[in-house]
Amino acid sequence: MLDHFASGASPVHRLDPAAKTVAALAAVLATVLVGRGHFLPLAPVAAALAVYHAIGRVPLKYSAKRLLICSPFAAAAAVLFPLLEPGKAVWAATLGGWTVAVTEEGLLRAADIVSKFFLCVWAVLLLLSTTRFQDMITALGRLRVPRILVTQMAFMYRYLWVLSDEAMRLRIARAARDCGYGSWRLRMRSTTAVVGMLFLRTLDRSERIYRAMAARGFDGRMGVAHAEKMRATDWLFAIAAIAAAAGIVAWDRLAYA
C-alpha cells in the first residue's frame, strides 16, 4: 500500500532513511521558499526529483496515480484563484449584475500554487516509495521528531488494515440483509450506524491493545532495536540536498531582488 515499491534495491533505496527524510524536507522547503511566480528556480528541484525517480525505478504509472489522488486540493486552488485574485482581467463575463473575471495575477498565482503543490507531493511520494515505512518511523525518531507523533504513525500503519478489515466485515454483514428495496432514509441511517459501530469497536480495540501492551511493560517508548549508522554516502546525500536547497533559495532571492 503506502510503501508498495519500498523494498526495491536501487542505490536510493539503500540510502539511510534519515538522510532521505532530510533531503525530502530540503526539497519541500526550497520549493515553498521560492518567490511567487518565479518558475525558473523550481526547475532544478524538478530535475533533481526526476533523477531520483529514475534511479529509484519508481513506476511512472504508480506515482502519477498517487499524484492524481492528491490533486483535488490543487484543483480547487487552480479554479478559485484566477477568479478571486484582483488584477488585470484577461476574460470577463457579466451574469445578471455579477461580473466574473479571470485575472492575469490570478492565473499566475494558480500556476504557482499548482506547480509547488506537485513538486512537494512528488518529493514526499518519492521518499515514501523508496523507503520502507517502518524504517522511516525509526528515522523520524532519530531525527528527534516528538515521540508521540512517531508512535502514532507506527500505530496507524500497523492498524490501517485491521480497521479496513473490520469495516469490510460490517459492510458485508449489512449487505447480506440488504435486498435493495429499502428507503433512502433507512440506507442513510444504517450507514451512519455502521460508521458509529466502527468507531465504537475501534475505541474498544485500542483499549484492548493498550492493556496488552501495558501488560508487557510498555512505557510509551517504541523499541528502536537497531540504531543504524549514517554512512559517508548518506551524509553526502543529505548535505548535498541541503546545500542545493539553500543555493536555490539564495539564487531566487538575488535574481529577483
* Footprint on this chain of another protein (rule: CB under 8 A): 169-170, 172-183, 186, 189-190, 193-194, 196-197, 200-201
Provide, rounded to whole angstroms, the least separation between the CB of residue 145 and another protein.
Answer: 34
Residue nearer to another protein on the CB measure, 98 or 184: 184
Enumerate residues 6+ apart whose C-beta is below 8 A from 30: 45, 244, 245, 246, 248, 249
Provide, rounded to whole angstroms, the least separation between the CB of residue 60 and another protein.
Answer: 24
CB atoms within 10 A of CB 127: 24
Helix (H, G, I), strand (E, B) or coil at 6: coil
Residue type, 53: H
Residue nearer to another protein on the CB measure, 194 or 209: 194
CA-closest candidate to residue 186, choices 174, 197, 202: 174
Provide, rounded to whole angstroms, the least separation between the CB of residue 173 and another protein.
Answer: 4
Residue nearer to another protein on the CB measure, 43 or 173: 173
DSSP labels, 156-170: HHHHHHHHHHHHHHH
Structure-block grid coordinates of residue 150:
512517531
Residue nearer to another protein on the CB measure, 178 or 207: 178
Provide, rounded to whole angstroms, the least separation between the CB of residue 190 and another protein.
Answer: 6
Enumerate residues 6+ apart whose C-beta is below 8 A from 59: 5
Residue nearer to another protein on the CB measure, 94 or 183: 183
Provide, rounded to whole angstroms, the least separation between the CB of residue 216 and another protein.
Answer: 24
